[in-house]
Amino acid sequence: MQDNSKFYITTPIYYPSNKFTLGNCYTTVACDAIARFNRMLGRDVFYLTGTDEHGEKIAKIAKENNKTEIEYLDEMIADAKELWKILNISYDDFIRTTEKRHEVVVNMVMKKLYEKGEIYKSTYNDWYCTPCESFWTESQLIDGKCPDCGREVHEEKEEAYFFRLSNYTDKILDLYKNNEDFLLPKSRVHEMVNNFLKDGLKDLCVSRTSVKWGIPVEFDKSHTVYVWVDALTNYISALGYGSNDDKFNKYWPADVHVVGKEIVRFHAIIWPALLMALDLPLPKQILGHGWLLFGGDKLSKSKKNTSKDVLDPRILVSRYSSDAVRLYLLKEVPFGSDGIYTQELFLNSYNANLSNTIGNLVSRTISMIEKYNEGIIPSKKEIIDLDSKYIEDIKSNIKNTFDFMKIYDISSALNEVLNIFNRSNKYIDETTPWILAKENNKGRLDSVLYNLSEVILKGATLLLPFLTEQPKKIFEAFGVLEVKDFKNILDFDILESGIKVKHINALYQRLDIKKENEELWDLNV
């Protein structure tokens, strides 16, 4: 299962108007799992994340904090990078839209669009929501307020440049029709068609004169580039579009842009249209994932969430490990749907999946090898029964993991990996090694211990893209070097003979749910 091709994956660039939340962590951790999985396939992976740093809201917040925009932003970005560090995010580049390399590409894009007649100057007159940085027509407002965040909007009229998005309605519809996997899950296609495309697209405002905190339009310095051209261009500016052709040609087009469902429209309609106008290849896929819901609502920096059941991810990582946070995020947000976070669900997930399933299996197996075979994993020549049914079940889990990751169904893939550990705990109950030892059935006992050891190492290998700390201790405990790829993942009966296991304390200590829930409640933000 090796693949030497390139793989370019991106998160959206996040808006640093405040410290990042668990919602931001979900997208970043999901992309990290996909990136790590593809690296273990042998692919040349480029994983991009970053921040969208311009706009009226950033200028306003910086002023309220008595800082310049860049002073405020530098603090937010340092905090974001520290969060990605403790979550073990393996990004290859972090793009900031305030960087010179990005500004150069944005102006190159604007100039090309202008020279091709794809943008023109006119006047904008509509309703604007500052927290969401979005314009809305009067018919789109709900009770006169922003349909996204429910806050007040105000009417704005100003000179602006417009992109001829209306020319691309049929082209985007043809894209969806001719490439069924371009936008996943498929329910997002219906949303785009029914909500935006069926009545025809309207031209898009791409510059502002009233907002000064942004990239000046090179050919008209009274304008700054408006958010979506600025933001979306990051996917090619990070690759050195126009200045580093080798890197750009190597990785573009993106294999997948991963975004929250609230910004699918910008990535699945506006971004392809801009690329078509620039005569550039389109990304292969857009993945619009669901939200992580807190108390039935989406946690958003644009909304005033007051739920006591919202916790700083930094506290969760420091108290329970990055594995615990990563597992919950990856497992509890089903493919394309919303997931729910509550403290109790988080703590129960920790006990059920990390302590009971993974930790329990590893501890039981090592203890039995120490007790029944002097700490040595039985050698292959002593094996009399490879338990083909058990091994076939495990092979099925492995194949299913790969199949689900091909379509970015991370939660289902992780469940298949956890099923390897669940099945192995059941295998112990089925084979009753303690009875085999009592009956002096050495050959059969050696077979069970060998099979468990090999399967645990397969499971630990598959865990590596999802969890980044304790799986390494599993390899150490079983006396083998950490596996770096999936090269032999489906090969069994290959474990070397004479390996001595290392006794370790519980990988994941079982939690007292009531006690932890009470203590976490006091730590909530």
Tens of pLDDT along 123-140?
Answer: 987 787 877 767 777 777
Amino acid at 466: F
DSSP letter at 100 equals H
What pLDDT score does 308 carry? 44
Q: Compute CA distances 23 → 19, 33, 53, 345, whole Å.
A: 11, 16, 18, 16
Helix extents (H) in 54-159? 56-64, 69-86, 100-115
Q: For the segment 176-216, what is each residue's pLDDT rounded down to a tens digit?
A: 999 999 999 999 999 999 999 999 999 999 999 989 999 99
Q: For the segment 353-385, what is each residue's pLDDT rounded down to a tens digit?
A: 999 999 999 999 999 999 999 999 998 777 777
Q: How far apart are CA 251 and CA 9, in angstroms?
A: 10
**pLDDT exceeds 60 at position 301:** no
pLDDT bin (cut points 50, 70, 90) of residue 298 is low
What pLDDT score does 304 carry? 41
Burial 225-259 (b: 16+ CB within 10 A, else e): bbbbbbbbbbbbbbbbbeeeeeebeebbebbbbbb
Look over the chain and give the mean of its residue pLDDT values, rounded to a whole number: 92
Sign of CA dihedral 133, 134, 138, 144: negative
**pLDDT exceeds 80 at position 521:** no
**pLDDT exceeds 60 at position 314:** yes
**pLDDT exceeds 60 at position 297:** no
DSSP letter at 162 equals E
Amino acid at 211: V
Q: Name every residue whose Cβ is closer than 8 Å to that of residue 184 and which is 6 or more positions away in sequence.
A: 285, 286, 287, 288, 336, 407, 408
Q: How far apart are CA 460 and CA 314, in angstroms?
A: 25
Q: How far apart are CA 498 and CA 27, in angstroms?
A: 43
Domains of the chain: 294-525 (1.10.730.10)
Q: For the segment 412-460, what is each residue's pLDDT rounded down to a tens digit?
A: 999 999 999 999 999 999 999 999 999 999 999 999 999 999 999 999 9
Q: For the segment 486-508, what is each residue's pLDDT rounded down to a tens digit?
A: 999 999 888 887 899 998 888 99
Q: For the segment 213-256, what is each residue's pLDDT rounded down to a tens digit?
A: 999 999 999 999 998 899 999 999 999 999 888 999 999 999 99
**Cα angle for residues 246, 288, 408 (degrees, 5° grid):** 75
Cα-Cα end-to-end distance for the chain: 44
